[in-house]
C-alpha cells in the first residue's frame, strides 16, 4: 500500500523522533541529535530586529521552523519596520502559541500513552518543539502508527531481562575482569565503525581502572554495509581462540582503513598469533557461524547500531564518553 502524502509526513515525523531517541551516536546514524544534552544554547541574534528575533526564537526554539523563518524574513525589513514589529511582540508570541498548540497536544498525548517519566517522553517533548504544526497535525491523524513506533523504541531502551543478560555474558566471547564482578558490561561492536573505535578507547580506560571490578564482554556485530567488518570480526574470534583477542582488537581499531585479508594476516603476526593456525581458521571460515550467532544475540537485545553497550542490563546512551560510563560503573559499585 502506498502511503498518502500526509501519512508519509507522519511517518517521517515518527522516524525523526525515533532517530533522536535511539542510539545517541553510532554507525546507524550520522551523528548526535542537535538538541542532545550538551548542545550549545541559542545565541542572541546580532542581525536586524534582534529584540523581535530573540523573543520568537526563545518561545519557539532555535531549531524551529518559526525561528529560522523569522530570522530570514527580518533581513528584508527596514529599521522602521523592525521597530514597529518589536513594539508588538506580544501579538506575534500569542499567534505562535496558538500555532504550537497542536504540537503541545501531540507531545502531551504521546507522553500520557508512553509514560510521563520515560526517556522517550522527554525526547518527544524536546523534538516536537522543532516540528512545524502541519507535521504534528499529520502525526495526530496517524497517531496509532506513531505511538507503535515509539513504544517499540521504549521497549528497546528498557533494561534487559535477567535471562538475556546472563546469556550475553556467558559463552566463549572475549572478556576481561572477574566473572563474579558486581558490574557486568557487554558491548556489541563493529571493527569498521568509526564510532566503535572511539568506544574502544573507553574500553581501554575501563580495563585500566576497573579490570578487577568489572566483567567486560565483547560481542561481534558487523553491520551489513561495512564490507570488511565480518572478516575482521572473524579475525577477532580467531585471535581470541589463541588468547590474543585484545591485542588484535587494538590493532584492527587502530587501522580501520585497512581491514583486508592481507592486513589482517599482518596484524595477526604483530599480535603474536600462530600465523598458520590463524590463516587456516580464516580460510575455512571457522568462526563465521560464531560471528553470526553474536549478531543474532544482538538482535534479541534490540541492538540496531554500533557501538551498543549494556551495563548490568541497562543500555548505555553514550559508550564513547568515559566520564559518563565511569559514573554509571561507580553508581553500580556503590549499590
Query: pLDDT, tens digit, for every residue of 54-96?
Result: 888 887 777 677 788 888 888 888 888 888 888 888 888 888 7
Reference 63, options 83, 93, 33; nearest CA is 33
Query: Measured between alpha carbons, how far is 196 from 230 in angstroms, rounded to an integer?
Result: 14
25-55 pLDDT, tens digit each: 578 733 333 333 333 334 455 566 888 888 8
- Region 278-305: what's the mean pLDDT? 96
299-325 pLDDT, tens digit each: 999 898 999 999 999 999 899 999 999
- In the chain, what are the domain boundaries? 5-157, 162-334
Identify the band that residue 151 occupies on the pLDDT scale cut at 50, 70 and 90.
Answer: confident
Specify the CATH number of the domain 162-334.
3.40.30.10
- Region 265-274: what's the mean pLDDT? 98
- Region 137-151: what's the mean pLDDT? 92
Query: Measured between alpha carbons, how far is 104 from 128 in angstroms, rounded to an integer?
Result: 8
Q: Which residues pair with 186 in a beta bridge?
A: 217, 310
- Region 230-250: what's the mean pLDDT? 98
CB 188 within 8 A of CB 306: yes
Return mean pLDDT, the chain.
86
- Region 189-203: what's the mean pLDDT? 97
Q: In the prediction, which pLDDT does 25 show?
A: 59
125-134 pLDDT, tens digit each: 988 888 888 8
- Cα-Cα-Cα-Cα torsion 157, 162, 163, 168, nearest 10 degrees, comes to 60
Can you give the three-state secondary structure of 114-132, one letter per residue?
Answer: HCCCCHHHHHHHHHHHHCC
Q: In the prediction, which pLDDT does 29 show?
A: 39
Q: In the prediction, which pLDDT does 226 show?
A: 96
Amino acid at each position: 500500500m502506498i502511503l498518502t502524502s500526509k501519512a508519509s509526513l507522519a511517518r517521517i515525523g515518527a522516524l525523526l523522533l525515533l532517530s533522536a531517541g535511539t542510539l545517541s551516536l553510532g554507525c546507524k546514524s550520522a551523528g548526535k541529535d542537535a538538541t542532545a544534552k550538551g548542545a550549545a544554547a541559542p545565541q542572541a541574534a546580532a542581525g536586524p530586529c534582534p529584540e523581535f528575533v530573540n523573543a520568537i526564537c526563545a518561545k519557539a526554539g532555535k531549531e524551529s521552523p518559526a525561528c529560522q523563518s523569522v530570522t530570514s524574513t527580518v533581513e528584508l525589513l527596514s529599521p522602521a519596520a523592525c521597530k514597529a514589529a518589536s513594539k508588538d511582540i506580544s501579538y506575534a508570541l500569542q499567534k505562535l502559541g496558538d500555532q504550537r498548540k497542536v504540537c503541545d497536544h501531540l507531545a502531551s498525548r504521546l507522553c500520557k500513552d508512553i509514560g510521563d517519566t520515560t526517556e522517550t517522553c522527554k525526547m518527544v517533548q524536546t523534538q516536537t518543539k522543532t516540528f512545524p504544526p502541519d507535521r504534528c497535525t499529520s502525526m495526530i491523524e496517524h497517531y496509532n502508527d506513531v505511538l507503535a513506533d515509539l513504544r517499540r523504541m521504549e521497549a528497546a531502551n528498557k533494561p534487559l531481562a535477567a535471562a538475556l543478560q546472563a546469556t550475553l555474558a556467558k559463552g566463549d566471547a572475549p572478556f576481561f575482569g572477574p566473572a563474579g564482578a558486581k558490574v557486568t558490561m557487554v558491548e556489541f561492536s563493529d571493527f569498521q565503525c568509526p564510532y566503535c573505535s572511539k568506544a574502544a578507547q573507553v574500553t581501554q580506560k575501563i580495563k585500566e581502572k576497573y579490570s578487577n571490578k568489572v566483567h567486560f564482554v565483547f560481542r561481534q556485530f558487523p553491520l551489513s554495509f561495512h564490507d570488511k567488518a565480518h572478516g575482521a570480526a572473524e579475525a577477532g574470534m580467531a585471535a581470541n581462540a589463541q588468547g590474543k583477542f585484545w591485542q588484535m582488537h587494538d590493532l584492527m581499531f587502530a587501522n580501520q582503513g585497512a581491514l583486508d585479508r592481507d592486513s589482517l594476516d599482518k596484524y595477526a603476526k604483530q599480535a603474536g598469533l600462530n600465523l598458520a593456525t590463524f590463516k587456516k581458521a580464516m580460510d575455512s571460515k571457522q568462526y563465521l557461524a560464531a560471528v553470526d550467532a553474536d549478531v543474532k544475540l544482538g538482535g534479541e537485545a534490540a541492538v540496531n547500531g554500533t557501538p551498543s553497550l549494556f551495563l548490568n542490563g541497562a543500555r548505555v546512551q553514550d559508550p564513547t564518553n568515559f566520564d559518563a560510563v565511569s559514573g554509571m560503573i561507580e553508581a553500580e559499585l556503590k549499590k
